[in-house]
Amino acid sequence: MTRKGGLGGQGMNALIKSTDKEIKRAVEEAEKNGILEIDISLIDVNPDQPRKVFNEEEIKGLAESIKENGLINPVTLREKDGKYQIISGERRFRAFKYLNKDKVPALVLKNIPDSKMLELTLVENIQRADLNAIEIARSYKKLIYDLNIKQEELANRVGKSRSTISNSMRILELNENIQNLILENKLTEGHARTILSFSDNDEERDLFAKEIIEKGYSVRECEKIVKEKKEIVKDNNDTQDKNIKKENKKDPNIKKLENDLEKIFSTKVNVIDKEGKEGKIIIEYYSADDLSRIMDILDNIHNINTNSIKHTIEY
């Protein structure tokens, strides 16, 4: 191992602010030791790494950037069983392997138990914005379950607001198909939120997600679609409410007449009465055969009834 100077990075700064004494102590010691050159052969990946998808083209692009500009932020490791395990920086680690490097610049934390690993990994990666929305949300969920803590305590530990944690985890309400599209970076976190607002139905959400990808909708365009859909639903609900209110206000005699006529015609009948002076009777039909059946009933009534009845029938 060869020691190098310098220590920095947003992720490490976040760890330094941690309220956990073990983590603080380990970080302060790593700060004193500085950046070390660690043999790649001695480094193991983290099985609890939140990032599950590594794009090979991105790794190659990162490798070329490192080759040209050097490594800006070192990987973060912990000592484990005579070797090292990655806390954060697996993409950088893979890029160094792609370049066939023997060593990688690293910050090494000592005496970090397994129980702290996921928390450390998550904080580092979040601060560096190395994870996408699904990876972060799943990590939050796992931390809450593994550590048996509430969202508020988790928020304090990772330096986020409680609402940020809650909103992030809400994305996990989307089905696995849409979650995978987010993991594959075909949909953004903003798109995910509009899909959540679009519908509670999985099929409708899938269709909307497909449309977003095929038509290349921006988040703003998706928000406009969701807003328009909600306005249509609201208008329909308002119309239904008005109809229900009108129905409830109907004269009991009119409602009885409707029921009697519905029994005669075996279909929906609406009697619209205008203050007992005039009105109309609407008899609904749903096919040509249905209309023919109703006409036969009317003919029979006409033949039987000798009285003159003034009425209007609207088809």
Segments making up each domain of the chain, as ranges: 2-131, 132-173, 189-241, 250-314
Query: pLDDT by residue for the chain (315 residues), tens digit each?
Result: 544 444 444 445 555 455 467 677 777 777 777 888 999 999 999 887 777 778 888 899 999 999 988 888 889 899 988 899 998 888 899 999 999 999 999 989 888 888 778 777 777 666 655 678 898 898 889 888 888 889 998 888 777 888 889 999 999 999 999 999 999 889 999 999 999 999 889 999 999 999 999 999 999 999 999 888 888 876 666 566 566 555 556 778 888 888 888 888 888 888 887 766 788 888 888 877 788 888 888 888 776 654 444 444 444
Catalytic residues: 90
DSSP for 14-80, please give it: HHHT-S-HHHHHHHHHHHHH-EEEEEGGGEE--TT-S-----HHHHHHHHHHHHHH--SS-EEEEEE
pTM, 2 dp? 0.58
CA distance 179 to 47: 21
CA distance 156 to 144: 12
Asked if residue 242 lies in contact with residue 273, where contact means CB atoms within 8 angstroms, the answer is no
Asked if residue 107 lies in contact with residue 26, where contact means CB atoms within 8 angstroms, the answer is no
Which CATH code of 1.25.40.10, 3.90.1530.10, 3.30.360.10, 3.40.50.300 fits the domain covering 2-131? Answer: 3.90.1530.10
165-199 tens-digit pLDDT: 999 999 999 999 999 999 988 999 999 999 999 98
